[in-house]
Amino acid sequence: MARNQIGNLINITLNPYTVAFIVLYGLGYGAYYSTADMAIPMVADVSDYEMFRSGNYAPGIIGTLFSFVDKLVSSLAATVVGVALTFVGLTTLPGSLHPGCRSCIVCAFLDCRF
């Protein structure tokens, strides 16, 4: 394709909202993924610290508490979605996109974990 034909096919408009979205999206995911895999190795560090602090060697209890909290937080995801859908006024399941669901879709896309 000639250069002017490609220019007609791709129309990119960078406004301040687009730039802010790209920067904040990158910073959010960068912060999340920089610490995402740190929790499991930290169980051993916590166990060592507990041994140093109190003299009790309790890796099983610490691992069990970590697993319990991880499952508890994961199970709250469905509750957060339900509360968000109730908050926007969804009372019945729509056949197409409900007008109030747009903010929920944007939040889900942006991944509000941070």
Q: Give the model confidence (pLDDT) of 60-80 as tens digits.
A: 888 888 889 888 888 888 888
* pLDDT score of 108 more than 80: no
pLDDT digits (tens, 9 = 90+) for 85-99: 888 887 776 666 666
pTM for the complete prediction?
0.47
pLDDT value of residue 46: 87
Letter string b/e over residues 64-98, b meaning 16 or more CB atoms within 10 A of that residue's CB: eebeeeeeeeeeeeeeeeeebbeeeeeeeeeeeeb
